[in-house]
Structures are given as structure tokens and as C-alpha cells.
Amino acid sequence: MNTLDVLVVGAGPAGAIAARLLAQAGYRTGLMDDIRQTEKVGESLAGAARPLLRDLGLLEWMDDSGAKPCMGNLSAWGSEELVATDFIRDPHGMGWHLNRVCFDTGLREAALAEGVQWYASKLQAVIAETEQWRIPLSMQDIKTRWIIDASGRRSVCAKRLGCKRLKDAPLIAVYAWGENNDQDERTLIEAVPYGWWYTAPLPEGRRVVSLHVEAKEAASFMRHPGLWHEYMAGTHHIRQLCSTQHWSSLRAAEAGSSRLAQAAGNRWLAIGDAALAFDPLSSQGMFNALYTGLRGAQAVANALEGNIGMVEQYCARLEQIHLAYQQHVHYYYQAEQRWAQASFWRSRLLAHSPQ
């Protein structure tokens, strides 16, 4: 029987950072995930993350991941004209295009280097016992005082504990990777009547392109991949950066905003996408993972010492972030009025209307 102070379930950026911080603070910490070394979509990180990574002592791990500079954004939103945003004017400087496998692996290795115990397993069950949890595994059970749910949008711990997930209008990203044949290092977003496209250059001469649509349209693209390529060829700007003929097979992932009805409970707390997941239009997802990994770990550390008020403050802060996000993303969707009566655009405005 392994006995821990904290078990972090999910070894993405949020989970790895939380586990590392708790281990550095002297707590017996475990990190559990069924790691599959597959490519992940979500490869951009804003320059605002730089001071956070610096304070966490993780900038060297960022450098070792081979991240590529992101110099700015281009967007065709509200009109066909491209509008440029240059990050040289951002007080935090340029952002990054990430190799997510390398980035996530680096953060996980940084956690293990601090003595975090690694469990290569899926979470099978969460059993409440007096003042602790028991997590059954095939070889040995784990007993832990606290659990941090860092399992992403699935929020597997919270769901097993009966916590409901609240979802806004469904949004599906249908995406692929290919060769990058363009020297422009900026991201590009282009709105279309049925949704919006995104593309960015990646490390090692690669490019990602993603189409964000409603679930019905996404299902059609997955059944008929040639249709996705036809739609891309019909864009004004995306097609100019995505001229390669060698694209990977299409993948699809849930991309709509969602959150737990409660981000914490008796001896558990959620971070990252498990707590609060954003529409990728907001460009907040990766930063939110880092930030909530930090703040969630601090809240749990205080709770372990008897100060449960930090957990309440963490939940209140998440609520503030959610309200600000809703206003932010509503503003951007409202800025695109060319197809205001189309199903996709109408549902975005209704879903993200400030309360």
C-alpha cells in the first residue's frame, strides 16, 4: 500500500506543475496517467506565460522542448481583410509554438526530478475512507489525503465523485498536421460561414490546421475527409499557408467551453481543463493550465496544513476567470456579424452571452 499526501490524476501541464510544486513543498506526491505519446492539438502559448514559467523555474524546460517563437497573429474576422497583431508591442514579448509531446514530457520530467512518484495507470475507482481516499490499482492500492483532478475535459475524478459538468454550445475541432511551406511565423484565424479556421507553424518544419464547427458538420468531415480539404481550398487565406498535399489523417476533439459545477469538494480539487475549459478562440487554455496548476497546488498545500480557506479562495478566483472569459469570448464572436443568422454564429452568441 502506497501512502501519499496528494495524488494528481492527469500528467498534462496543469497536473505536472501541481505535482512538482507539492513535492518541492515536502509533500508525498504521486502523478497518475496512462500516457500515450500521440500528438496533441493546442500548440500555442502566449508570452504572458513567461514570468509564470520563470517564477516556477521552468524556462529551461521550455527551451529544451524546442519551442518555436510566435511573432504575432493574423485574423480575417469581421471582414475578408487580414488584420495583424504584432507581439513586439506585448509587454511580455513573443509567444511560442509548441511541440506538445516534448513540452508535456519536459514538464512531467521536471516533476519526477523533484521526487514525484509516477503511476502509469488509468484511474479505475475512487473510494472514500476516513480522512483519506483509496485508489485501487492492479498491483497495489494507493491511499492519499487529497486528490487533484488534472484529467482534462473528461474530469474523471470529479465525475466519479458525482460532480456535474456544465457545457456551453458544442464546438468540435477537426484538425490535421502537415508540412510547413511558408516562412511566416504568425498564427492565422479566418472566419467562414460555417465556423472558423486556425493554422500555425510548428517546430521541426510542421504546420497544424484546424476547423472549428458544430458537431453535425464535424461528423460529416470525419466521414468524408475529402470534404474538409475542399472547404480548406475554398478559404481566402488559410489555403495560402496550407499548400502542402501531405496531411495527416483527420482527428476531431471537443473544443467548446465547459466547467465543473464545483471545482473542489471534500479533499479534492480540480485544475486545468478539468476545472475550466475554454473555447480555443480565447487563446487562454495553455496559460490557464499553468496558472491553475500553480494556484491549485498552493490551495491544496494550505488545506493539508489546516487552512481550507485557500480552497474557497481558489474556487472564487476560478469563477472570476470564467466571468471574464465569457465577456472576452462574447466580444470576439459578436465582432463577426457577416453571418449572424447562421446556425454556428447564432449559437456562439447565445452560449457566451454575459449573464
Q: How far is CA 186 from CA 26, 84, 147, 204, in A?
A: 42, 9, 39, 15
Instruction: Reply yes or no on whether the pLDDT at 258 is more than 60.
Output: yes
Distance between CA atoms of 206 and 99, rounded to whole angstroms?
10
DSSP for 182-216 reads ----SEEEEEETTEEEEEEEEGGGEEEEEEEE-HH
Percent of the chain with pLDDT over 70: 96
Of 113, 218, 221, nearest to 173 (Cα)? Answer: 218
Instruction: Reply yes or no on whether the pLDDT at 352 is more than 70.
Output: no
Q: What is the mean pLDDT of residues 56-77?
A: 87
Burial class (CB in 10 A: 0-12, 13-18, 19+), 139: exposed
Q: How far is CA 329 from CA 26, 143, 333, in A?
A: 39, 41, 6
Q: Which residues 6+ apart lie within 8 Å of 171 measured at CB?
A: 212, 213, 214, 254, 255, 256, 257, 279
Distance between CA atoms of 103 and 122, rounded to whole angstroms?
21
pLDDT of 21: 98
Please, which pLDDT band fits residue 63 given cuts at 50, 70 and 90? confident
Three cell numbers written together for 2: 502506497
Instruction: Reply yes or no on whether the pLDDT at 354 is more than 60.
Output: no
Per the DSSP assignment, residues forming a β-bridge with 6 are: 29, 146
Instruction: Reply yes or no on whether the pLDDT at 249 is more than 60.
Output: yes
pLDDT of 72: 87
Instruction: Reply yes or no on whether the pLDDT at 245 is more than 80.
Output: no
Q: What is the mean pLDDT of residues 51-56?
A: 90
* pTM given for the model: 0.94
Distance between CA atoms of 157 and 29, rounded to whole angstroms?
17
Q: What is the mean pLDDT of residues 14-27?
A: 98
Three cell numbers written together for 240: 495560402
Q: What is the mean pLDDT of residues 43-72?
A: 85
Per the DSSP assignment, residues forming a β-bridge with 44 are: 97
Instruction: Reply yes or no on whether the pLDDT at 180 is more than 60.
Output: yes
Digit-coded pLDDT (tens) for 207-217: 999 999 999 99
Please, which pLDDT band fits residue 1 given cuts at 50, 70 and 90? low
Q: What is the mean pLDDT of residues 171-185?
A: 92
Tally the C-alpha atoms within 13 A of residue 58's C-alpha that lie toward its C-beta.
Answer: 29
